[in-house]
């Protein structure tokens, strides 16, 4: 029996992975070759998707990108024996892209069957949870604090401090909420983890619940991710059957249960207080802080709100020790970050590595430059609210403080590459347009400012009193930054200002000539 892996990750599905799996079964049956097809997550080498792997004596040999139409020929050419072929990538684990990563959070993604509890445990799953349950809760929190783990959702708040606040707040009922409303363009790591290794997220949430004394948890997944919703729901059901969730977790006497809630197409619900409102069944309107969710969160109870990757990093920290995690990274950015390389890039995907690698290395050495083959002109890091960096600034090391010092934001580590045809005035306009579209409407700087921002940029591009309107845009950006209730209005000026700073020519009436 030959084992073949075909990813079920939605990126692979978007290029026909289901058809590839079906064709493989047909082709194998036609030559009387028994095969077992495992639907794994994606390794994150998305330019190779769908990546088919065959288990051989040498290891898992990969072929990609495999189009459904090519399956018959590949099988005839000996794919099931790991034979050479122009699509053959060799032994997948030995590819430089994977070999040069430090995979803690994503250790199992792409390797295992995401819904197999046996696979999970065989590949080191539950080690962290077992350790945690054997420790006093204060030590679990101390381990997370000592590891230096900061929120991976973008804000970078130290996770241990948040947990300690919730733990120290008295309350009969506390919650752990996972923010899986990954709405930023250029980010897909949360989705890939939920689709490729959901048990890690469940394990991380269970550790968090134990540490802070919570008994109920919610995963808030955006509706644009139907595959992730299905996979996490299935995984929760399996975890309950296995006794990893429920009344008596792993025989420890600890109680925690988990529920999946689905968003409905509102970007703002990725903001933690808007997400809590949405979880309560209301409009996703941002709450004023304080009070912080750690004290007054879901239904007014003390609540841990963490991003998917923050929670999914916790099992590895508990399993390997805080010191080992803390030893990775630079300065105040410790551990690993799951960088996401996207947009106009030849080789896009997931690259988990210690903080500190330069953007240049990621984009050029690993990403292979632009997909179009044209020069890189701009790079946006940290999502739609992150700064645009010019091609000359790519020596920046990817860590929180270096980016902040450069007037940019590392955020969640999503990197979107643009070639030299991009019109940066139009990207600045889009930032305002997006904010106008997605603003929750609670505070005026964001609700009205974004609309005015679009109008002012249009006037500048049309050549109407450019100096006066540029000054006005500067004022508006300052007002939005200082006066908005949350990061949506507060950070929308970041891409606008960085575009103005680095690509001023594009804003002249004759600008945008690059396209």
Partner 1 sequence: MPILHRIQAEFGFVDSDVVPLLAAELNISRADVHGVVTFYSDFRSEAAGETVLKLCRAEACQSVGAERLVAHAEQVLGIKVGQTTPDGSVTLEQVFCLGNCALGPTGQLNERVRGRLTPARLDALLAERLSR
3-state class of 246 per DSSP? Answer: strand
Stretch near partner 1 under the rule CB under 8 A, chosen from 8-16, 81-89, 114-122, 502-510? 8-16
**What are the φ and ψ backbone dihedral angles of 250, each rounded to 5 degrees?**
50, 35
The site for partner 1, by CB under 8 A, has a size of 56
CA-based nearest residue to 493, from 460, 455, 463, 450: 450
Q: Which is nearer to partner 1, 132 or 427 (CB)?
A: 427
Of residues 231 through 270, those in contact with partner 1 by CB under 8 A are 261-267
Cis peptide before 291 (omega within 30 of 0): yes
Residue showing tokens 């591009």? 461
Tokens found for residue 458? 């249009």
**Residue 206: CB minimum distance to partner 1, A:** 23
Per DSSP, what are the bridge partners of residue 419? 376
State how far the Cα of 65 lies from the Cα of 49, in Å rounded to an integer: 5
- The site string for partner 1 over 288-327 (x = CB under 8 A, - otherwise) reads ----------------------------------------
Of 282, 291, 375, 407, the one binding partner 1 (CB under 8 A) is: 282
Q: Is 489 in the site for partner 1 (CB under 8 A)?
A: no
Of residues 434 through 463, those in contact with partner 1 by CB under 8 A are 434, 437-438
Of 41, 156, 384, 449, the one binding partner 1 (CB under 8 A) is: 384
Of 23, 191, 412, 497, the one binding partner 1 (CB under 8 A) is: 191
Q: Which is nearer to partner 1, 426 or 508 (CB)?
A: 426
CB contact burial 431-448 (16+ within 10 A = b; e otherwise):
bbbbbbebbbebbebbbb
Stretch near partner 1 under the rule CB under 8 A, chosen from 90-98, 140-148, 274-282, 463-471? 274-282
- The site string for partner 1 over 324-353 (x = CB under 8 A, - otherwise) reads ----------------xxxxxx--xx----
Of residues 108 through 167, those in contact with partner 1 by CB under 8 A are none
Residues 504 and 498 sit within 8 Å (Cβ to Cβ): no
Q: Which is nearer to partner 1, 46 or 409 (CB)?
A: 46
State how far the Cα of 360 lies from the Cα of 398, in Å rounded to an integer: 10
Stretch near partner 1 under the rule CB under 8 A, chosen from 42-50, 129-137, 450-458, 474-482? 42-50
Q: Which is nearer to partner 1, 133 or 376 (CB)?
A: 376
Residues 71 and 28 sit within 8 Å (Cβ to Cβ): no
Q: Which is nearer to partner 1, 119 or 423 (CB)?
A: 423
**Residue 419: CB minimum distance to partner 1, A:** 7
State how far the Cα of 324 lies from the Cα of 201, in Å rounded to an integer: 20
Of residues 397 through 426, those in contact with partner 1 by CB under 8 A are 414, 416-419, 422
Which residues in 326-471 belong to E strands, given as ranges? 329-330, 333-334, 336-343, 349-354, 376-381, 388-390, 414-419
Pairing between β-strand 59-63 and β-strand 52-56 as defined by DSSP bridges: antiparallel
Q: Which is nearer to partner 1, 199 or 434 (CB)?
A: 434
CA-based nearest residue to 51, from 121, 60, 42, 255: 42
**What are the φ and ψ backbone dihedral angles of 495, each rounded to 5 degrees?**
-65, -35
Per DSSP, what are the bridge partners of residue 246? 256
Of 4, 13, 193, 480, the one binding partner 1 (CB under 8 A) is: 13
Of residues 352 through 371, those in contact with partner 1 by CB under 8 A are 371
**Residue 430: CB minimum distance to partner 1, A:** 7
> What's the chain's Rg over C-alpha atoms?
23
Of 62, 125, 148, 186, the one binding partner 1 (CB under 8 A) is: 186
By the 10 Å C-beta count (0-12 exposed, 13-18 middle, 19+ buried), 413 is classed as buried
Tally the C-alpha atoms within 13 A of residue 432's C-alpha that lie toward its C-beta. Answer: 25
**Residue 13: CB minimum distance to partner 1, A:** 7
- The site string for partner 1 over 192-231 (x = CB under 8 A, - otherwise) reads -------------------------------xxxxx----
Stretch near partner 1 under the rule CB under 8 A, chosen from 75-83, 150-158, 178-186, 293-301? 178-186
Q: Estimate to the nearest angstrom the gap between the alpha carbon of 279 and the chain centroid.
A: 21
Q: Which is nearer to partner 1, 33 or 283 (CB)?
A: 283
By the 10 Å C-beta count (0-12 exposed, 13-18 middle, 19+ buried), 167 is classed as buried
Residues 136 and 254 sit within 8 Å (Cβ to Cβ): no
> Under the rule (CB under 8 A), what is the footprint of partner 1?
10-11, 13-15, 46-47, 49, 182-188, 191, 223-227, 261-267, 278, 281-284, 340-345, 348-349, 371-372, 380, 384, 414, 416-419, 422, 427, 430, 434, 437-438
């Amino acid at each position: 029996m030959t084992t073949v892996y075909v990813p079920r990750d939605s990126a692979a599905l978007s290029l026909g992975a289901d058809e590839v799996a079906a064709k493989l079964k047909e082709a194998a049956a036609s030559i009387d070759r028994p095969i077992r097809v495992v639907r794994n997550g994606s390794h994150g080498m998305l330019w190779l998707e769908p990546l088919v792997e065959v288990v051989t004596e040498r290891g898992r040999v990969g072929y990609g990108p495999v189009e459904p139409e090519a399956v018959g020929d590949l099988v005839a050419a000996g794919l099931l024996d790991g034979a050479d072929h122009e699509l053959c990538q060799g032994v997948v684990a030995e590819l430089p892209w994977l070999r040069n990563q430090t995979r803690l959070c994503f250790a199992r993604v792409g390797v295992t069957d995401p819904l197999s509890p046996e696979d999970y445990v065989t590949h080191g799953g539950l080690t962290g949870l077992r350790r945690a349950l054997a420790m006093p809760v204060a030590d679990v929190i101390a381990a997370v604090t000592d590891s230096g783990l900061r929120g991976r959702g973008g804000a970078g708040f130290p996770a241990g401090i948040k947990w300690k606040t919730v733990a120290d707040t008295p309350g009969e009922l506390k919650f752990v909420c996972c923010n899986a409303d990954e709405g930023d363009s250029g980010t897909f790591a949360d989705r890939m983890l939920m689709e490729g290794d959901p048990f890690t997220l469940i394990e991380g949430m269970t550790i968090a619940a134990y540490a802070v004394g919570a008994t109920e948890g919610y995963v808030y997944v955006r509706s644009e991710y139907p595959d992730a919703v299905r996979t996490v729901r299935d995984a929760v059901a399996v975890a309950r059957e296995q006794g990893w969730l429920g009344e008596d977790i792993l025989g420890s006497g600890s109680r925690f249960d988990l529920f999946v809630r689905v968003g409905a197409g509102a970007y703002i619900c990725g903001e933690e207080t808007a997400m809590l409102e949405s979880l309560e069944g209301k409009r996703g309107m941002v709450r004023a802080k304080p009070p912080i969710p750690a004290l007054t969160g879901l239904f007014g109870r003390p609540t841990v709100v963490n991003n998917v990757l923050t929670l999914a990093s916790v099992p590895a920290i508990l399993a390997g020790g805080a010191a080992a995690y803390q030893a990775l990274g630079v300065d105040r950015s410790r551990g690993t970050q799951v960088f996401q390389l996207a947009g106009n890039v030849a080789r896009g995907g997931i690259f988990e590595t210690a903080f500190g690698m330069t953007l240049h290395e990621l984009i050029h050495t690993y990403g292979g430059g632009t997909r179009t083959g044209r020069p890189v002109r701009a790079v946006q890091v940290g999502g739609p609210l992150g700064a645009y960096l010019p091609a000359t600034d790519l020596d920046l090391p990817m860590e929180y403080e270096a980016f902040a010092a450069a007037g940019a934001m590392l955020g969640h580590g999503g990197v979107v590459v643009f070639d030299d045809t991009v019109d940066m005035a139009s990207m600045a306009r889009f930032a305002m347009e997006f904010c106008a579209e997605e603003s929750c409407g609670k505070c005026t700087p964001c609700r009205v400012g974004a609309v005015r921002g679009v109008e002012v940029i249009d006037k500048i591009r049309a050549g109407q009193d450019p100096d006066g309107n540029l000054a006005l845009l500067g004022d508006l950006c300052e007002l939005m930054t200082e006066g908005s209730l949350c990061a949506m209005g507060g950070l929308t000026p970041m891409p606008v200002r960085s575009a103005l700073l680095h690509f001023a020519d594009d804003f002249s009436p004759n600008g945008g000539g690059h396209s």
